[in-house]
């Protein structure tokens, strides 16, 4: 057992970052955080203090480098993301590259030397950064250009690893939610018109929006078009993540209402795994959903796969990737399994993400190599806490069709107006390069009851 004392190493926020760094080396059961003078209980003590040199004393990264070095010496591990504990490496890379993110070589050097990031992860970040700048650098991101997110917090079943706002409610209950959501949409649309906001992208997520029946989905999409459509909209995505909720009729509705990007997410193409993680579909139903989407004329399809699912090894993951590549989606996203607090898998095995670290790393390396051979390029990435192997989630694209909303949400230099239960609105203030946030409650029933309160929050943040 190790004991860590962070006395003199900064405030609570800094200490939280140090703890996240420790978790890259040690399981939670292998260490304790101690207050100065607390009984050590026989733990091996690691006392973390800011370096004495004046310049370093103001640099929390100096503490993190010291901590990384000591933990590497103790454990023999060299986490590939170095001392980075944040979820947006590309955003940091852009800032390190100087004015307008133009000096990528400088950022690469600092990633390696100051942040201890491996050559492989530095190169991945640089490639994503270059593609984003080449594709989206000239897109409108001024104060009046926004993205709109609409949340549908319902799924047919709850996946074993899920931590999102996802409810299994009797269908009759959904109508009340859609009514409240419609009120929020009308309110926001009126405010946006007064402020002359222009919508660049629309993303309907969840949950599973296609859990709605065809009539309700058509009503939602028609309402969305009335509220937020315009000549400035460059992308309209619907998360149709569960193949068992997709039908030819729903896809026709989506195309009729202008949806041009759809996510069909297998997570795995191994039927045994799908049963194990609580999904009510098969690999064949994924193929059927793709056929229907192509027949409906969907221009861009994204498919998600997860590295590190229970019971899978590198071979089974490789079979899933091969099967997805045969479907030729324009976007493929490789997620490292995240062990969030609300997931059932976390309750069953609190340290599963450590146990599957090595195989998850092998899976993501294989995916990167295979996707490059298949002419896919990485276009966005982000990291989450408690992922298998402290890995990342990477979106790949081919044929010049990266997902715009995904880039904007990670870049954090655009206002995102989010509606529905669990939605988080982010107001971007360009002159200060910062965000202000306002949240909707996550419980859909409380959302309906307290809608007026949430409309008032949006009024104060966005429209006053």
**Domain boundary at 127, 156, 191, which?**
127
Is 461 part of a structural domain of the chain?
A: no
Report if residue 385 sits inside a domain: yes
The two tokens of residue 197 are 């906001």
> What is the CATH number for 383?
3.80.30.20
3-state DSSP assignment of residue 249 = helix
Mean pLDDT of 423-427: 96
- Note whether residue 317 is domain-resident: yes
Higher pLDDT: 220 or 357? It is: 220
Check pLDDT > 70 for residue 7. Answer: no
**What pLDDT score was predicted for residue 34?**
79
Q: Final residue of a domain: which of 419, 442, 457?
A: 419
Whether 153 and 205 map to the same domain: the answer is yes
Quick one: 112 and 155 in the same domain?
Answer: no
Res. 140: pLDDT tops 70 = no
pLDDT in tens, 436-452: 999 999 999 999 999 99
User: Would you place residue 59 in the very low, low, confident or very high pLDDT band (cuts 50, 70, 90)?
Assistant: confident
CB neighbour burial string for 247-269, b if at least 16 within 10 angstroms, e if fewer = beebbbbbbebebbbbbbbbbbb
Mean pLDDT of the chain: 89
Residues 361, 290 share a domain: yes
pLDDT at 47: 73
Higher pLDDT, 18 or 156: 18
Tokens of 97: 């590259």
Q: What is the pLDDT of residue 38?
A: 75
User: Would 353 be classed as within a structural domain?
Assistant: yes
Q: In degrees to the nearest 10, what's the CA dihedral of 224, 225, 228, 229?
A: 160
Same domain for 70 and 7?
yes
Contacts of 315 (CB under 8 A, 6+ apart): none
Measured in degrees and rounded to the nearest 5, phi and psi for residue 57 equal -65, -20
State residue 31's pLDDT score.
Answer: 87
Does 327 score more than 80 pLDDT? Answer: yes
Least confident of 3-17, 84-98, 255-269: 3-17
Residue 343 covered by a domain: yes
- Name the pLDDT band for 463 (thresholds 50, 70, 90): very high
In a domain, 132, yes or no: no
Q: Is residue 274 pLDDT above 70, yes or no?
A: yes
Domain count along the chain: 3
Answer yes or no: are the C-beta atoms of 295 and 364 closer than 8 Å.
no
Tally of CB atoms within 10 A around 130 = 16
Q: Which two tokens stand for residue 173?
A: 């209950």
Q: Are residues 380 and 261 in the same domain?
A: yes
Residue 346 has a pLDDT of 54
Which residues is 206 bridged to in the sheet?
152
Does residue 223 share a domain with residue 351?
yes
Looking at residue 361, its pLDDT comes to: 94
**Could you say which of 404, 419, 434 is where a domain stops?**
419
Among 261, 203, 234, which Cα is nearest to 135's? 234
Residue 168 makes CB contacts below 8 A (sequence gap 6+) with 154, 155, 156, 157, 158
Range with lowest mean pLDDT among 38-47, 211-220, 368-377: 38-47
Position 390 in a domain: yes
Query: Residues 197, 309: one domain?
Result: yes
Shared domain for 334 and 303, answered yes or no, is: yes
* Same domain assignment for residues 111 and 223: no
Tens-digit pLDDT profile for residues 208-252: 999 999 999 999 999 999 999 888 999 999 999 889 999 999 999
Tell whether 68 and 211 lie within a shared domain.
no
pLDDT of amino acid 102: 85
Characterise 198 by phi-psi region: left (phi > 0), alpha (psi -120 to 50), beta (else).
beta
Q: For the chain, what percent of residues have pLDDT higher than 70?
A: 90
Q: At what angle do helices 89-96 and 104-113 cross, to 10 degrees?
A: 120
Chain-centroid distance, C-alpha 429: 22
**For residues 351 and 182, which has the higher predicted lDDT (pLDDT)?**
182
Long-range pairs of 162-170 with CB within 8 A, sequence gap ≥ 24? 162/342, 162/343, 162/344, 163/338, 163/340, 163/341, 163/342, 163/343, 164/206, 164/207, 164/422, 165/206, 165/207, 165/421, 165/422, 165/442, 165/444, 166/206, 166/207, 166/208, 167/207, 167/444, 169/444
Domain co-membership, 266 together with 203: yes
Asked whether residue 192 falls in the same domain as residue 107, the answer is: no
Contact between 100 and 433 (Cβ < 8 Å): no
User: What is the pLDDT confidence band of residue 338, given thresholds at 50, 70 and 90?
Assistant: confident
Average pLDDT over residues 15-34: 87
Q: Each residue of 379-392: pLDDT tens digit? A: 999 998 888 888 99
Q: Is residue 429 part of a domain?
A: no
Q: What average pLDDT does this structure show over 333-355?
A: 72
Give the DSSP letter of residue 154. B
Count the neighbouring beta carbons within 10 Å of the beta carbon of residue 192. 20
Do the Cβ atoms of 353 and 389 come closer than 8 Å? yes
pLDDT of residue 341: 54
- Residue 393 Ramachandran class (φ > 0 left, ψ -120 to 50 alpha, else beta): beta
Tell me the residue range of the domain where 400 lies.
Answer: 145-419
Task: Verify cis geometry, omega within 30 degrees of 0, for the bond prior to 207.
Answer: yes
Distance CA 211, CA 268 (A): 20
Alpha-carbon dihedral 328, 330, 334, 338, rounded to 10 degrees: -120
To which H or E segment does residue 261 belong? strand 261-263
């Amino acid at each position: 057992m190790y004991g860590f004392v962070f006395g003199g190493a900064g405030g609570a926020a800094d200490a939280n970052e140090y703890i996240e760094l420790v978790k890259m080396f040690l399981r939670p059961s292998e260490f304790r955080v101690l207050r100065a003078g607390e009984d050590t209980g026989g733990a091996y003590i690691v006392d973390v203090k800011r370096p004495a040199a004046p310049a370093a004393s103001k640099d929390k990264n100096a503490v993190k480098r010291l901590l990384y070095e000591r933990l590497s010496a103790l454990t023999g591990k060299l986490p590939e993301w170095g001392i980075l504990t944040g979820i947006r490496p590309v955003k940091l890379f852009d800032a390190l590259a100087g004015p307008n993110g133009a000096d990528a070589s400088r950022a690469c050097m600092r990633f390696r030397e100051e942040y201890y990031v491996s050559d492989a992860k530095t190169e991945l970040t640089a490639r994503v950064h270059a593609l984003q700048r080449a594709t989206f650098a000239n897109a409108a991101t001024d104060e009046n250009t926004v993205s709109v997110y609409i949340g549908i917090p319902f799924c047919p079943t709850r996946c074993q690893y899920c931590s999102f706002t996802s409810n299994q409610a009797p269908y009759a209950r959904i109508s009340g939610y859609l009514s409240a959501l419609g009120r929020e949409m009308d309110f926001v649309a009126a405010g946006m018109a007064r402020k002359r906001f222009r919508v660049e992208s629309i993303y309907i997520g969840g949950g599973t929006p296609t859990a709605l029946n065809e009539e309700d989905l058509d009503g939602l999409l028609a309402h969305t078009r009335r509220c937020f459509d315009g000549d400035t909209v460059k992308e309209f995505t619907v998360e149709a993540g569960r193949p068992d909720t997709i039908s030819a009729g729903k896809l026709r509705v989506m195309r009729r209402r202008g949806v041009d990007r759809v996510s069909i997410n297998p997570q795995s193409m191994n039927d045994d795994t799908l049963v194990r993680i609580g999904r009510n579909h098969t690999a064949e139903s994924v193929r059927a959903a793709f056929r229907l989407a192509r027949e409906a004329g969907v221009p861009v399809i994204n498919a998600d796969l997860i590295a590190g699912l229970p019971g899978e090894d590198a071979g089974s993951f490789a079979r899933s990737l091969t099967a997805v590549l045969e479907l030729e989606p324009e976007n493929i996203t490789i997620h490292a399994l995240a062990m969030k607090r609300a997931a059932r898998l976390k309750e069953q095995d609190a340290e599963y993400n450590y146990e599957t670290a090595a195989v998850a790393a092998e899976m993501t390396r294989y995916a990167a190599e295979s996707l490059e051979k298949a002419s896919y390029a990485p276009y966005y990435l982000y990291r989450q806490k408690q992922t298998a192997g402290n890995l990342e989630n990477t979106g790949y694209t081919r044929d010049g069709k990266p997902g715009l909303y995904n880039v904007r949400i990670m870049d954090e230099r655009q206002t995102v107006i989010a509606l529905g239960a669990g939605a988080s609105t982010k107001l971007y203030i360009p002159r200060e390069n910062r965000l202000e946030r306002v949240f909707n409650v996550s419980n859909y029933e409380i959302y309906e009851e307290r809608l007026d309160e949430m409309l008032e929050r949006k009024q104060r943040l966005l429209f006053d």
